[in-house]
Amino acid sequence: MLLQLLTLLFLSLLAQDNNLTATLTPANPTAHVGDAIALELWVVHPAGYRLLPPELGETWGAFEVWDLSPVTVTANGDGTETSQQTITVTLWEVGEFATPPLPLRVSTDAGEIVETTAVSTTLTIESVLVAGDSELRDIKPQAELPFPPVWPWYAGGGLVAVLVGWRVWRRVQRGKTAVSAPIDPRTPTQIIMDELSKVMIQDLPAAGRFKEQYTLVSDLLRRYLTDAHNFPAIDMTTAEVRAAIDKTGFRSDQRKALLGLLDMADWVKFTDMTPSVTAANEYPIRVLELIKATAPGEDRERML
């Protein structure tokens, strides 16, 4: 127990940066192939700071990532807080494996992003087979199954023919009565700005619906990037947007603002922390300001 405490203290000192202390330890350092392994992430930070979810894909080094728990925050009583998150992984090979260093991002109480790293931790993966179990066992004979009756095939074929005929008839009838849909004269940028206005009118933060507010607004921001700038953010995670953000053509300050807005939404959507009503009301306004600053030329001229 003393050795484990000293190890954790050493790892904490290695990972300490910007008043942050990060440790990553397995709930059980020994597991079997295919077991769900819980890695406990602990980050000690000043009060008011918020840990952003780590950017992990389906695989992380040799590990397969299964789940990320919500972040929980506990006050330490000394002006600091501890954010805790469980990362569930598995391994499909036998041996000793070290987790890759885990880069972490923490939002300060002023909205700035500071970074630190949780250093590697080692796990031992054992086989599910019992040592020395090499006994050969008889193969079971092939099971004898009765030949299925033929009539269900005929019935199924008839049903398929009826369904196909009905679909063809419906398509013909729809073609006879179809009318051309009205063409929306608005540009993609105008459509997104109108949708943002609708969200703001709902006043969701006043009803405590913070996750819904940030989800709707961040989805509209991704739609704007996709529809107005041909940047497929609607199908990307925030990590993927960060990796490809140079393709937006935005200035460096605009790219930084965009990533900050997406990070802010992830913090509200994927943790149990609640923003203030003021911050939640300001979020769509900040998105609207970014859209106005980056709108395509034709839209920007209309806004002047």
> How do residues 172-210 score in pLDDT, each as one tens digit?
776 665 555 578 888 999 999 999 999 999 999 999 999
- Asked whether the predicted pLDDT for residue 298 surpasses 80, the reply is no
Torsion (CA) 284, 276, 251, 102 in degrees, nearest 10? -130
- Asked whether the predicted pLDDT for residue 304 surpasses 60, the reply is no
* pLDDT score, position 217: 95
* pLDDT score, position 82: 92
* pLDDT score, position 139: 46
Return d(Cα 262, Cα 96) in angstroms, integer: 37
Mean pLDDT along residues 75-99: 89
Element at 172 (helix H, strand E): helix 151-177
- Asked whether the predicted pLDDT for residue 214 surpasses 90, the reply is yes
- Asked whether the predicted pLDDT for residue 14 surpasses 50, the reply is no
Mean pLDDT along residues 153-168: 72
* pLDDT score, position 2: 45
CA-CA distances (angstroms) from residue 54 to 87, 125, 197, 258, 270? 9, 24, 32, 18, 11
Return d(Cα 218, Cα 202) in angstroms, integer: 16
Amino acid at 153: W
- Asked whether the predicted pLDDT for residue 294 surpasses 50, the reply is yes
- Could you tell me the pTM of the whole model? 0.50
The number of residues in the chain equals: 304
DSSP 3-state helix, strand, coil percentages of the chain (rounded to 5)?
45, 25, 30
Query: What letter does residue 14 receive in the DSSP assignment?
Result: H
Other Cβ atoms closer than 10 A to 109? 10
Return d(Cα 63, Cα 43) in angstroms, integer: 21
Mean pLDDT of the chain: 81
Rounded to 5 degrees, φ, ψ at 40 are -95, 120
Over residues 221-278, the pLDDT tens digits come to 999 999 999 999 998 999 999 999 888 889 999 999 999 999 989 988 888 878 889 9
% of the chain exceeding 90 in pLDDT: 31
165 by Cβ neighbours in 10 Å (0-12 / 13-18 / 19+) ranks as exposed
* pLDDT score, position 218: 94
Q: Which residues pair with 68 in a beta bridge?
A: 87
* pLDDT score, position 43: 92
* pLDDT score, position 27: 87
- Asked whether the predicted pLDDT for residue 11 surpasses 60, the reply is no
Query: Residue 130: pLDDT band by 50, 70, 90 thresholds?
Result: low
Query: Residue 303: pLDDT band by 50, 70, 90 thresholds?
Result: low
- Asked whether the predicted pLDDT for residue 15 surpasses 80, the reply is no
- Going by C-alpha positions, the residue among 38, 32, 190, 19 that lies closest to residue 99 is 38
